[in-house]
Every structure is written in C-alpha cells, then in structure tokens.
Chain A
Amino acid sequence: MSILIKGGRIIDPSQDIDKVTNVLIEDGTIKSFPRSATKYEKDRKTQVINARGKIVSPGFVDIHVHLREPGFEHKETIKTGCDSAAAGGFTTIVCMPNTNPVNDNASVTEYILLKARTEGKVNVFPIGAITKGEKGESLAQIGEMYEAGCVGVSDDGMPVMNSKVMRHAMEYVKAFDIPVISHAEDKNLSGSGVMNEGEMSTRLGLEGIPCASEDVMVSRDINVAELTGAHLHICHVSSEASVRLIRAAKKRGVRVTAEVTPHHFTLTDKAVDSYDTNAKMNPPLRGEADMKACIEGLKDGTLDVIATDHAPHSEDEKKVEFNLAPFGIVGLETALPLSLKLVEDKVLTLNQVISKLTDAPSAILKLNRGTLKKGAPADVVIFDPKKKVKIDRETFHSKSKNTPFHGWELKGEINYTIVNGKVVYSA
C-alpha cells in the first residue's frame, strides 16, 4: 500500500525544502516527490490524500513527554499517550524515566519499548534515569539502557543535587555519546515552593520558587559540561537568566542544547490567579520578562527546540488545594496551535517553528527522524495553519485533561498524522 500526498506545501527544514509538490510514500518510507499526481490517482493501490492549501512536513518530534506507564496508568498509558501525540501531529515522542518503577535499568526500558511497539501509534524512544531510582546517589545502568534503546539520560523532576554525581554522569555518558538531560533546579532553593516567586506569589500567599533556583543549576550544569565535554541538554528553560547563561555557553563552544515549552513562551504566573491548579507546573510559569526572554531565545537559536513536557494528571489529583496538586500539564494536543502563535506574532517563520518541532529535536537525541529525506521512515504530518480551532479538553485523546488552555481560540488544525507510512490520525 502506498500513499500519495497531493498538492501540499512541503516544508522540510532538514533539507531546506519549501515548495508545493506531491509526496509519495511506499513501504513505510519516503519514496519521492513526484511532479505529477495523475499516474497515482489511477492506481487503486495508492491512497491519495489531497493536501492542497495545507502544510506537509515531517511528523513532529517531542523530546519531553511523560507517558506515566508503568505505574501511573490512571494518568496516562503508553497507548493513550501515543494517541494524544498522533492527534497533536507528533510522530515521535521521547518519554521520561520517572515512572514506577523508575526506568533505571534495561528491563524497564524493554518493557516500555515492547508496550510502545504493540500498543503505541507513534515512535517512542525512552530516556533512562541518571541515577538509580532517580535518587541522585549512584549511577543507573546507563550502558545497558543505552543498548536496550534509551537515547539519553535524565532524572527529570528530581534534579541531581550532588555535583559530583552529575560530573560522573556526564563523564560516563561520553562512552555512548548520549546527552545528559537536566531538569535544572536547586531543590533547596525551591523549598516547598509551588509557583514562581514574585508579586503573584506574594498576593496569593503561596510559597515561591525563585528563578535563581533554575539559574544556579543551569550554571552548574554548564560548568560541569565544560569540565567533562559531555553533551548537556537543558529541559524546559523558563527564566531570563537561564537563557542568558545558555547563550553565553553556546557562544564559547560548550556542548549545550536547550528546550522551551509552549506554556513558558505563552503564559506568565498571572495564570495562577484564583489558584488554577492547571497553571501549576515545574518550572513554574514566570514573569513577563522571563516569558519574553524565552521567546527571544527561540528567535536567536539559544533555545533549540520546542518540547511540551506533557505531564498528565487526573482530574481528581488536580481538584485539590493548590499546594497538594501535582506539577504539570498536558501539552501534546495544544503544542502546534500555541507554536503557530509565534508565527502570527512574527517571532519565528513557519519554517523555523517546524524546524524546532522536527529536525532540531531529532538531532539533539540522534533519532534520525523529523525529515522527509528519500528513504527515511515516512513520518509525516499534514496540517492547516490558518484553520481556527477552539481548545476543548473534552476532545483530548490523552487520558488527562489538565490544561490551562481550555477554551482558547487559536489557529492550526492537524489533518493527518502518518507514522512509518501508516495514517494513525485523521481529523
């Protein structure tokens, strides 16, 4: 069975392609960009998808997703997480190790990959833990996890506080040339903070997490990366100073890459007003200047990629006192429209946004995805960037509905998501 995508505007930043043409998919791979569609339209074995007026790009790659399985299947499963990804135009997702048990050894990695192969609609690549049980003490089975299929290591959510342990992790991963992915946060400085420290936290009487608690760790991790020569990837950058630190590090040649979430470039801590637990995440939503710095970082390339930090939690878990609610929001199904706002606001071009969702994230973790090169796995998304959409959490494919964007009117509708030559989602 083959698929011909007819007449769309093909944007593939990995090859610098931006033109209206056809895409032929055969045997699960990108076959060619035929000039004429006529021949294939007559062929009964070819499914023709009319993409006139639509964008055809490599499927999106999200390098920061929490799939919750094993252990927290009431929030999300590998299956529902993949469904949610497909509905959001993502064909490849990378899942964090903070499951129960923690993905700190090859058997958990294998379990996740097996589940993903049998139940998941999209490509799943796991991240292994840096330390056993994400406890920050002794190194996890990094080599074995790498062999089993992990593409990076991270103690996401539980930052490695001991700098010496971090140093050894960064040294050790050089043997496999995978990055250490850092959730940069000084847990002592954060204390029991639940939102950004600033005027809003003072008004609301909530304990704040200062930007400095991110900045000091970004700074430490950059220094340790410099010391070790390892590839450091910094998760969900949220503060102005962190953007500055990363910019300077890149300038002097440190191997550092960084991501930003759609919520950190869209919202500020004002969204916490009236104690909306769907505006509670870690790092927290920051002030206006920080949000602008994140946008500026995306623009000048300091922040390489957009990643969602998709963090599903059930409604019951979120309908509690603000202090008791878990951190995190779902992000896979709102990422495209929120990112396209950057195009509308003339921050990035459409091609740049697509790059930050495709070839750039793929390159950080060497996934060989996020491209329409001939012979590459046929991971494709077809979307309409002009189509108005109203975010409705009830229509989410994710098991969880914890979003602060419910009811927002944005633009950008996913029409088709194709993974390895198979349509896995169509609107």
Chain B
Amino acid sequence: MNNTKDRVVMDKRAIKRTVSRIVNEILERNKGASDLVIIGVRTRGVYLAERILKLIKKLEGVEPPLGTLDITLYRDDLRRKTEWPKVKKTEIKFSVEDKIVILVDDVIYTGRTTRAALEEIMDFGRPASIQLAVLVDRGHRELPIQPDYAGCTIDTLSKEKVRVHLKENDGNDEVTVLQG
C-alpha cells in the first residue's frame, strides 16, 4: 500500500555533527563541565550519553559521572497493559545533589518518557537543574516538556514511526521515518 519510501532524515555524518553541536551547546551554556552529571535513558539514550561523555572528555579533559536510567517502573501506562515492559536496571552510582543533570534520550515525542525520567531522577536527590538533550524532536507533545538541546526537529505524522539506529545497538548510525 505504501508508495512513498521510508525517508532517511539523518545519516552517520549528520549524527556525528549533531552530537558534537549538542556537546558544544552544553559546555557553552554551563560554562564547562565541572558540575555536570550525565544520565542516559535506556536503551539508546545510554549510547548517546556515552558519546557525549567522550566528547566532553576530549574537549574539557574532565569526565563527568555517567548513569543509566530505566524508567519502566515510572511509566504511566503500566496498568493499561498495552505491552509488556521488562524492567531493567537503573544505575546511578553517584549523588545528583546540587548537580546539573544532562538527561539524554534519542527521541522526544509525547514527553511521557521524559516525565517518568524526571520523576525518577528526583527520587535520587535534588539536582540544581536538569537539562534535556535529544537527538530528534518529532513533535506531538502531550505534556508541557521541551528539550534544552535538540539535534534535529522533524515534522512527522503521529502514525509514522521514527527509528533511531545507533551502531552500538543496531550496527549503523541512521535516523529514519517509517510510514505508519
């Protein structure tokens, strides 16, 4: 039925450029990396967080702590039983107290994942601030949540799907929009 092909919105080089731009923006806005902690949202947010960390280290010579967040236990659709989510581990082995948390995810869509992530981080302590970095903002927000650093903003229909491929997980770097 689909006549139009899936469209590629970012390729490997575009992703690399974008991550590097995000890192620059983070460092510029926070005047360096001294108070930063970086937390990636499972699954692909974690790989992006690792890339961001690597660049910060290269540019600033410091290595902020890195954590991973599994938001399953904070989801608001658990009892709607639309799909069965497996719980994985959250690992934040440092204090977030008075830190600037850079929360990293691959895509922002309805905002519900971010809402859950914010709530979970708060349960670990009271950070000075939380800033959200995403590779793709595809719109269709259902909550008043906006990214601080967005790699690219794309127009999508809600029936379309945005697929982020990262080499650590999927073998290649690519962002595509799939017909619904």
Direct contact between A and B judged by beta carbons closer than 8 A: no
Using a CB–CB cutoff of 8 Å, the interface residues on chain A facing chain B are none
Using CB atoms and an 8 Å cutoff, list the residues of chain B in contact with chain A.
none
